[in-house]
Chains A and B, each alone.
Chain A
Amino acid sequence: MDLFPLWNSLRIAAISTVITFFTGVCAAYYIAKTPRLIKGVLDCILTLPLVLPPTVIGFFLLVYIGPLGPVGAPVMKWFGWQLTMTWYSAIFSTTIVAFPLMYRTVRGAFESFDKTLLYSGQTLGLSDSFIFWRVMMPTCKQGIIAGTVLAFARALGEYGATSMVTGYIPGRTATISTTVYQLWREGQDALAYKWVFINLAISFIVLVAVNMLESRYRQPKRAVKETLSEEDM
């Protein structure tokens, strides 16, 4: 059994997870600070990939990064890079599809972040970046990890947009999900089953991880004790 699709899926998912992590955290941080109207508009745009059919995303990607597209053509001309039908083409599609999951989960965590921690840090003379990295990110840790895991899982399982921009080239662009489809078409059910089980196993592990993180995340982090301790007596 050729394990290339597993390796290819994992590297695509890993790279797009890294990208969505930084873009998602940045977007969540800055959009939380914008005025309500702009926030609503930006929020809609950034969440759109979550509700759009992946084929629509694939369509737009082909239009823009295809060999004749406004982005694909100059890149081809100046760098000689073909952006579609290669293994890394899938990074574009999986990043766009996984981004809203990261962005929304992190934004939820940032919104539940206690503003007085930010304010007290500022009045104590701590820089905004110090407060962000050393107070806000650790405090919102669970939400950020949950978003990352979700984004990774979505990127790993992406089929529609990916199959449009990468096609299916065994040993070059094949991912787990495109392989399952191809094997079924060819009637190789036994092999398709193996890949289906690999997929099920990965998804199950991811969901268990997310559930464990979320249940910890929902617990109140700071129950202020109002009772007297021995020292106060």
Chain B
Amino acid sequence: MSLSVKIKKNLGEFKLDVEFEAGNEVLALLGASGCGKSMTLRCIAGVVKPDEGKIVLDGETLFDSEKKINLPPQRRHVGLLFQNYALFPNMTVEQNIRTVLARAGKSGDDREHLSQLMKSFYIDGLEDHYPAQLSGGQQQRVALARILASGPRIIMLDEPLSALDSFLRWQLERELMRMLETFPGTTLYVSHNRDEIYRICTKVCVINKGSSEPVCPVEKLFERPSTLASALLSGCKNYSRAEPADNGRIKALDWQTELDCGKFDEGARWIGVRAHYIKPVAAAAENTVKCRVTRVTQDVFSTIIMLLPAGADEKRDFAHIRMELSKEAAASIKTGDELFVKIEAKDIMPLTK
């Protein structure tokens, strides 16, 4: 099973230009809101037509602008779960699933198949309920059961958890994972939530203002993002423009300091450092920055300390360094303090634009 997508579409404000391949795995499409993730899924499903490109699923061409192939969504066998689940409000749970089963041509042991499906999604007993009478979790289970009833070759999930509060979200996430483990084909998972993606997906494709970046394993995105956009999406908080200095080190322009970052890749223009990798130290040493504390903010389980490196222009967007410490470690730090912080060379991520 494999899916290969290479499509372009003009969306007015920006151009969608996405290219990726996926095997039998859960591939995440990660991007900020409105970056074209959902549009990509709709193009694959066939409900929206790309301007140009090619979509191939298991060797069958679903869309090819050059050969003028554009299969209707009904013939693509691609399951798409919408954020609002899109259950037919005028039909009961059973009718919702039964209409799809009937169309999929599994009418032989219809009853048997239906009750089996309902049981495996824990929705037996809800046959006669209308979607509006169900909780969010039940609606999602019904929607997933309905998608599996259609016999999809791949499953695409469009922000399935983002409309839910945090406790319910965790419950549904576990159920989703249980379901995805039993599904043999490709799964595409669209989200802007990096935590969700880290837990659920194996590979990730970052989409930045409509343009996709190369697919990489999820771990790599969080340990070693290579672009500014993917570093931002992975939750990295500190950035500085950077250029190579003469002595093999780099100059962090926004922080007005020189740092050793190991290898500074060709084409890199920025460095990024995660907030919890920065530690205060007693005295100046290799890779330390002299800073003034400009603000101390109490977070739920940690303390956020905003630092301004000595000599940095505080009007610049990226001049401040954000350091996150445990409450105990930050207890003695006050606004206005001068201190040194250490940034390990291995924690500095060179980033291309």
A contact residues vs B (CB 8 Å cutoff) = 114, 116-127, 130, 134-135, 138-139, 221-229, 231-232
Contacts and interface: CB of A to CB of B under 8 A. Distances in A.
Contacts of B167: 228
Contacts of B139: 224
B163 A121 contact: no
Interface in B312-348: none
Contacts of B168: 226, 228, 232
B244 interface: no
A166 to B, nearest CB: 41
Interface string B122-142: 000000000110111111000
Interface of B: 42, 45-47, 72-74, 76-80, 82, 84-86, 88-91, 99-100, 103-104, 131-132, 134-139, 143, 146-147, 149-150, 163-165, 167-168, 171
Contact of A124 (B84, B103, B132, B171): B103
B80 A120 contact: yes
A126 B171 contact: no
B136 A123 contact: no
Contacts of A123: 45-47, 73-74, 76, 78-80, 150
A227 B136 CA distance: 8
Contacts of B90: 134-135, 138-139
Given A124-B146, A126-B99, A119 B45 contact: yes
Nearest to A228: B168
A179 B85 CA distance: 56
B74 A222 contact: no
Contacts of A119: 42, 45, 47, 73, 80, 82, 86
Contact of A122 (B72, B143, B164): B72
Given A114-B84, A116-B86, A228-B167, 12 more contacts: A114-B86, A119-B42, A119-B73, A119-B82, A120-B80, A120-B143, A122-B74, A124-B146, A125-B103, A127-B74, A139-B88, A222-B89
B12 to A, nearest CB: 12
A101 to B, nearest CB: 25
B86 A225 contact: no
Contacts of A134: 88, 90-91, 99
A84 B285 CA distance: 102
A138 B80 CA distance: 23
A231 B136 contact: no
B86 A222 contact: no
Contact of B86 (A120, A221, A223, A228): A120
B247 to A, nearest CB: 57
Contacts of B88: 117, 121, 134-135, 139
B76 to A, nearest CB: 7
B136 A224 contact: yes
Contacts of B82: 116, 119-120
A127, A130, A134, A222: most-surrounded residue (chain B CB, <10 A): A222
A122 B80 CA distance: 10
B151 to A, nearest CB: 8
Contacts of A122: 45-47, 72-74
A117 B137 contact: no
Contacts of A231: 135, 137-138
A116 B84 contact: yes
A222 B82 CA distance: 15
A167 B249 CA distance: 98
Contacts of A139: 88-90
B58 to A, nearest CB: 17
16 contacts: A124-B149, A127-B103, A130-B99, A130-B103, A134-B99, A135-B88, A138-B90, A139-B90, A224-B85, A225-B136, A226-B136, A226-B163, A226-B165, A227-B135, A228-B137, A229-B137
